[in-house]
Amino acid sequence: MGHTTSQIWRILRSIDEAREFVTSRSVRNYLGNLRFWIFTVVLLLLATTSAPAQQTTQSRLERAEKEPQNWLTYYGNYNGWSYSQLNQINRGNVKQLAPVWTFAAGVPPPVTTLRVGLEAAPLVVDGLLYLVGPQNNVYAIEAATGKSVWTYIYRWPDRAVSGVKGARGLAYGDGLIYMGTQDNHLVGLDAETGKEVWNIEVKNNSECGCSLNSPPLFVRGKIIAGSSGGGGKNTGYLNAFDAKTGSRVWHFDVVPPPGQPGNDTWAGDTWRTGSGSAWYTGTYDPELNVIYWGTGDPFPVWRGDQRPGANLYTASLLAIDADTGKLKWYFQETPHDLYDYDSAMEPVLLDLDVNGQKQKLILHPSKNGFAYVYDRITGKFIRGFPYGSPNWAKGLDANGRAIDAISPADQKDFLICPNMGTGARNINHSAYSPRTGLWYTTDNELCSYLKSGLSPAPQDALNPNAPPNISAFDPTSGKKQWTFKTKYFNESSLLATAGDLIFGGDLDGNVFALDARTGQMLWSFSAGTPIAAPPVTFSINGRQYVAVSAGGGSNSEGRLPNLYPQEKNRLLQPASTLFVFSLR
């Protein structure tokens, strides 16, 4: 079927090319009708032949590396690697990369305060590319041509929506496309038609200030989604929903209410407004049937005196049973967080040799500037290393606890690193390449200036001793292998490929490719608008493509004018366009 379908896609492109040269309206209409019926047949064939595949979505996702032509999940696989085995585009020919099509994804509705930009990573499933726009519209597009197949228009409420922070992507499973929305709904769409199958309100946005910004995770017939926002109105949570109906299967409170383990780490009723959003997409180990998810900071931010205790399970990495939602283990990376150092970042699952033995590990970066390595079966801390330049602590001890952590409220005329807000990293995820054995990550190198404790509020500042950068690390030792300096702090995620390339983008509007082994820049393209999204790669009919959403949209971009005043008059404007590249 794959060969037959490929031939049909080529026929469709031939018809499109023919229509461009035909002047007769009747012939053009005939070709247009012919194309419509052939494309309808393609969809029917895909529906017929993919029925078994839909029934085994779980096995497809578990073996995503067997389908490098697709990009089936937010990170490309359950491990959180953001890695592709495609190698047609490589270090030797990447300079020949050029745009082949673009797609404009529109702007947000006026009821939001959201920036215009496009943050979302697309999915690619069996020849179709799925993209969510900044207004939660979803688009199905022919992945090889950029032609629209269907559009789903999301119905926004008439009232103002609070706490919106962008739309970062989608999930796929059992023939549906799943989207979390900025007004805190979860939606299931028919992947072939775009028809809404179900739409549920997880929690009232006007009451909780919470939303679903990051892509949900499809696991064994369930959709796992974590909350964003809150900030005193809400406590964080993680939910599992039946993927076919949207009915809730289980619920996990990041901040445990009375009667649950961990509530005693909150004084009095402070747990009620404890925040701890589970705002970034987690990862999954099918063999253990365990979901790994990071959590955000406690509320009030910075004011530990108003919430005595360790404040579980904020700023933590959680291991949760995928069937029941029960906590198997946790590790709190910044107990009683005084710095807004979320641990919400992606847990990267690695099977590596440690002292001659293969171990199931997690590498987990925190906003606090340290990367933590755990045994993912037991949660035992194995090692940690700085991927940035943290000075809020002198390091990590043998148990993974901060050594001599400072109290920001007691500091005067002090530059604390990383920044008490963006952290060493924020919305942008890392990449791991099994070919090189290296982990690639961004380091913001932003700090906060404390003039006199927390009053006035900490001010953003550049680290005078280190520029923002992208670096490669050996995860077994924590040793840095190379560093690539960036002009501004980076908001784009990274993509690693078997062509030994690292793709990314920057807030100066450049999409770029680095040599995965040396960090040397090999190619760049100016998109003319900031990049704050994850690149992905896929192939159609043996031709490899790289797709990058452009336009920015991240909250941190608002820091640029103050941090780089000399650049204020030339900073790029937001937009909302997907760029797709291939070799000339």
Please indicate, yes or no, whether the overall pTM of this predicted structure exceeds 0.85. Answer: yes
Q: Which two tokens stand for residue 457?
A: 């509020």
Q: Which two tokens stand for residue 418?
A: 């990383």
Q: Which two tokens stand for residue 222?
A: 């369930």
334 touches 340 (CB < 8 A): no
Q: What value does the mean pLDDT take over residues 276-305?
A: 96
Average model confidence (pLDDT) across the chain: 91
List C-alpha distances in Å: 415 to 125, 139, 566.
47, 45, 22
pLDDT exceeds 60 at position 50: no
What pLDDT, on a 0 to 100 scale, did the predictor assign at position 158?
79
Closest CA to 190 of 47, 33, 369, 60: 47
pLDDT exceeds 60 at position 216: yes
- Between β-strands 357-365 and 370-375, what pairing exists: parallel, antiparallel or unpaired? antiparallel
Q: What value does the mean pLDDT take over residues 457-484?
A: 97
446 touches 480 (CB < 8 A): no
Question: Dihedral angle at the C-alpha atoms of 504, 415, 273, 429, nearest 10 degrees?
Answer: 10
Give the 3-state secondary structure percentages of the chain, helix then strand then coil, rounded to 5: 15, 35, 50
pLDDT exceeds 90 at position 21: no
Measured CA to CA, the distance from residue 478 to residue 531 in angstroms comes to 28
pLDDT exceeds 60 at position 49: no
Q: What value does the mean pLDDT take over residues 406-434?
A: 96
* Ranges of each domain in the chain: 1-53
Place of tokens 């099994």: 434
Closest CA to 329 of 315, 316, 343, 348: 316
Q: Left (φ > 0), alpha (ψ -120 to 50) or beta: where does 28 sit?
A: alpha
My answer on whether omega of the bond before 78 falls inside 30° of 0, hence cis, is no
Measured CA to CA, the distance from residue 169 to residue 136 in angstroms comes to 10
Place of tokens 């030339």: 570
- Centre a 10 Å sphere on the Cβ of residue 220 and count the other Cβ atoms it contains: 17
Which tens digits make up the pLDDT trace of 159-184? 777 666 779 999 999 999 999 998 99
| Phi and psi at residue 560, to the nearest 5° | -55, -50
Strand partners, 510: 526
Which tens digits make up the pLDDT trace of 528-579? 999 999 999 999 999 999 999 999 988 889 899 999 999 989 999 999 999 9
| Catalytic residue positions, numbered | 340
Strand partners, 438: 433
Kindly give, in sequence order, each residue whose CB lies less than 8 Å from that of residue 332, ignoring residues fewer than 6 positions away: 310, 312, 313, 314, 315, 316, 343
Closest CA to 490 of 360, 388, 393: 388
Q: What angle do CA 24, 29, 32 make, to 5 degrees?
A: 125
Closest CA to 506 of 532, 468, 524, 467: 532
